[in-house]
Chains A and B, each alone.
Chain A
């Protein structure tokens, strides 16, 4: 075991959205910070790591996915659904999908950049539907931080004055693409609102360090111009440049070490390169390893004082784990056959979306969802050309064949697909959780997580509504529906728990230490110098994606740490 002699003001564990923000803010405030990240250093601007602007033929598998790159050979994520040497388990009869990134910046290197503030209602859902719990804080507590995040990071969108999808300091959005114009027309005719998407992509310059988007549609490959938000490019490099941050890459935190009085003294880690144990000392510890990994570290930090794991006197660490719901459907748009071909890449992902529009409606489920729109003339990669002329079926023509006629089919149907993906809020359950599996350790000797998670009627009914909505909107847009509509036998196409990769809730915040893990600032009830800065603190997830809220709350927690240090409380 080696020990670094430095005692840091703060040790930040994990370099994703939450860890990057905490590192940046604490360093900016003058603290000495150790950032500990299990994966390697990463910068998409380095040619050796750049996958952006690669052509499919630069990959022998033409961009196909592999077990090591589940979202395709050019995707930026090092990690995936399975990690060699780091398994997880599930309770009998349940399924959970767990996506883990292992790299500087974590999942923010390849995330969708959909950047939505939670609205006032999202913090107080129990008041509205009697289910789950309210957050101890409200929109007004987070708003100043959303404002700051908007300006620091950059996000395009529009101020629409919507009650539960708040306005922000937005950059102007890009114009819609052609299939999105069909969607807008269809949604309007069905009485469903559509707005420009909100994404952390720089359509306009925000500083001299980062570039402006050049519309390659490849944000999932990470931007070599640093024109979209990745924790590494936007937060960590500037923090490191301050000279106050030491980054420990390839260093896996095993547990938080505590003194007999119960407060943290540092972290025990393993260097993945040489398998040596390493101890890092700090006056405070900020956990941001992603909600489930943070829970795992806490549960593994057992001491005489913290017998069931650090911060777990309530037994709530790992509880209330929840993910967004999801369902999707696609259609063939005959009007988009034989298109004029032009460069339609645009930004990574959609230019338009539909936020939840039925607040207060009488439905057989409590929580809402939003719609993400897909389609367009994307770059071919592995899978392009499969079932190349299947849409001929809808034209009364024969599907199949061979020869040069196939070329005409491919061109004819190129870009004629419109798809919708729904992302919804689930109702957090005490009974959905992760815990340490007593029987299994990973290759570092750390007990692995075991997941036990089932959807309730709420989510299943919501998925049913999603399917009806998608059918209605795709048809209203002029589409011919593809595939079958999943029924109850398939839970209406509801995605598996974990599949939407929005893990939240495992260390939820609250004013009552008996039913929550942290206070309203992400500070553990049980150890005053340990904080959580990832989505573990979420009481409920909203019908929005989580990351903008992770960033805002991590900033808020960091401000609180700085304040507490100034007041000598830490």
Chain B
């Protein structure tokens, strides 16, 4: 059976990665959700933009090993054992792959970072990062997840982990799951009528009456504006 890349990755993640690996690549064992990135845009793209994105989708930059490593890291950073879902539920590896191809300056740091991680894992535990067991992986992460660590040997790993944390969080919080997790409520037609009173009160603030008097009366927003000659709104 011929598998496409996506299926290959999926099976790699769900099956033990190599002889001796104790767990699946996915730290929590949660199913991986390969949310497809939009390839056809419904919104104002110029031909040059469409062309560029077609090229990006066609380009394969990462090896499968690198993609699996990215998936494993994303999953560690934002695991799926949460009601709002984790990185893998939000299709993070696809996003990371795309954005790295899109932003030239990310290519080397991510590729080199993975290579550093593997060499460190081999030196410490005798196998690539994805082929050591979960406690071993986490023990490496514990060493490189905190930028205040001064050990010079770990600096490349710390930089890389910070970058992966940034990419994972930005990828996650720009999906529906992320919006839910954050509670973001905007991007819909509405009528802004000021900070909710109880919120203002909690902050010990209140609108100045003179200021408020100048603000829009939202019940009259659809009445066509008229003015007197002295620049006073009369509607």
* Chain A residues within CB distance 8 Å of chain B: 44, 47-51, 53-64, 66, 68-69, 74, 76, 78, 84, 151, 154, 156, 158-159, 167-178, 181-182, 184-185, 196, 203-208, 212, 214-218, 335, 339-347, 377-388, 398-404, 406-407, 410-411, 414
Q: B103 contacts A215, CB within 8 Å?
A: no
20 A-B residue pairs with CB within 8 Å: A60-B98, A61-B98, A169-B227, A174-B215, A174-B216, A178-B200, A184-B211, A204-B216, A205-B223, A215-B192, A341-B185, A345-B187, A345-B192, A347-B192, A379-B184, A384-B170, A387-B166, A398-B148, A400-B165, A411-B182
Q: A54 contacts B175, CB within 8 Å?
A: no
A404 CB contacts on chain B under 8 angstroms = 78-79, 81-82
- Considering the chains assembled together, what is the distance between the CA atoms of A229 and B172 in angstroms? 34
Q: B212 contacts A205, CB within 8 Å?
A: no
B188: min CB distance to chain A, Å: 7
A218 CB contacts on chain B under 8 angstroms = 187
Is B220 engaged at the interface, CB distance under 8 Å to the other chain? Answer: yes
Q: A212 contacts B221, CB within 8 Å?
A: yes
Is B48 engaged at the interface, CB distance under 8 Å to the other chain? Answer: yes
Q: A217 contacts B186, CB within 8 Å?
A: yes
- Considering the chains assembled together, what is the distance between the CA atoms of A257 and B143 in angstroms? 71
* Chain B residues within CB distance 8 Å of chain A: 37-39, 41-44, 46, 48-49, 52-53, 56-57, 76-79, 81-82, 84, 95, 98-99, 102-103, 141, 145-148, 161-162, 165-166, 169-176, 178-179, 181-196, 198-200, 202-203, 205, 207-208, 211-212, 214-217, 220-225, 227, 231-233, 235
B184 CB contacts on chain A under 8 angstroms = 341, 377, 379-380
Q: Which of A59, A64, A69, A84 contacts B38 (CB 8 A)?
A: A59
Q: A379 contacts B187, CB within 8 Å?
A: yes
Q: A172 contacts B216, CB within 8 Å?
A: yes
Q: A175 contacts B195, CB within 8 Å?
A: yes
Nearest B residue to A403, CB-CB:
B79
Q: Which of A47, A48, A84, A182 contacts B48 (CB 8 A)?
A: A84
Nearest A residue to B176, CB-CB:
A57
A344 CB contacts on chain B under 8 angstroms = 186, 192, 195
Q: A171 contacts B199, CB within 8 Å?
A: no
A349: min CB distance to chain B, Å: 13
Given known A206-B224, A215-B192, contact A171–B216 (CB-CB < 8 A)? yes
B188 CB contacts on chain A under 8 angstroms = 53, 216, 343
Known contacts A204-B222, A212-B221, then 7 further A-B pairs from the complex at CB < 8 Å, ordered by chain A residue: A61-B98, A172-B233, A207-B224, A342-B199, A378-B186, A385-B166, A402-B161
Q: B95 contacts A62, CB within 8 Å?
A: yes
A205 CB contacts on chain B under 8 angstroms = 221-225
A76 CB contacts on chain B under 8 angstroms = 44
- Considering the chains assembled together, what is the distance between the CA atoms of A78 and B81 in angstroms? 42
Q: A380 contacts B189, CB within 8 Å?
A: no
B192: min CB distance to chain A, Å: 4
Q: B43 contacts A388, CB within 8 Å?
A: no
Q: Which of A56, A204, A377 contacts B220 (CB 8 A)?
A: A204
Main secondary structure of the interface of A (DSSP, over half): loop
Nearest B residue to A214, CB-CB:
B189
Q: Which of B172, B198, B214 contacts A196 (CB 8 A)?
A: B214
Nearest A residue to B144, CB-CB:
A400
Q: Which of B42, B165, B172 contacts A402 (CB 8 A)?
A: B165
B211 CB contacts on chain A under 8 angstroms = 176, 184, 196
A52: min CB distance to chain B, Å: 9
Q: Which of B46, B186, B212 contacts A379 (CB 8 A)?
A: B186
B203 CB contacts on chain A under 8 angstroms = 178, 181-182, 335
Q: A398 contacts B200, CB within 8 Å?
A: no
B208 CB contacts on chain A under 8 angstroms = 184
B153: min CB distance to chain A, Å: 17
Given known A181-B195, A385-B166, A402-B76, contact A167–B202 (CB-CB < 8 A)? no
Q: A340 contacts B199, CB within 8 Å?
A: yes
A540: min CB distance to chain B, Å: 26
Q: B225 contacts A171, CB within 8 Å?
A: yes
A356: min CB distance to chain B, Å: 20
A215: min CB distance to chain B, Å: 4
B36: min CB distance to chain A, Å: 10
Closest 8 CB pairs of A and B: A385-B169, A175-B194, A56-B174, A214-B189, A172-B216, A49-B44, A62-B174, A345-B186
Nearest B residue to A407, CB-CB:
B181
Given known A54-B43, A66-B49, A380-B179, contact A181–B173 (CB-CB < 8 A)? no
B198 CB contacts on chain A under 8 angstroms = 340
- Considering the chains assembled together, what is the distance between the CA atoms of A64 and B196 in angstroms? 32
B81 CB contacts on chain A under 8 angstroms = 404
A400 CB contacts on chain B under 8 angstroms = 145-148, 162, 165
Given known A57-B174, A66-B52, A345-B186, contact A172–B231 (CB-CB < 8 A)? no
Q: Which of A54, A177, A381, A407 contacts B195 (CB 8 A)?
A: A177
Q: A51 contacts B185, CB within 8 Å?
A: no
B44 CB contacts on chain A under 8 angstroms = 44, 48-51, 76
A44 CB contacts on chain B under 8 angstroms = 44
Q: A170 contacts B231, CB within 8 Å?
A: yes
A217 CB contacts on chain B under 8 angstroms = 186
Q: B216 contacts A342, CB within 8 Å?
A: no
Nearest A residue to B233, CB-CB:
A172
Interface centre among B99, B147, B173 (most CB of A within 10 A): B173
- Considering the chains assembled together, what is the distance between the CA atoms of A121 and B169 in angstroms? 50
- Considering the chains assembled together, what is the distance between the CA atoms of A56 and B90 in angstroms? 13
Given known A61-B98, A407-B82, contact A175–B186 (CB-CB < 8 A)? no
Interface centre among B161, B187, B193 (most CB of A within 10 A): B187
Nearest B residue to A180, CB-CB:
B195
A343: min CB distance to chain B, Å: 4
Q: A386 contacts B145, CB within 8 Å?
A: no
B233: min CB distance to chain A, Å: 7
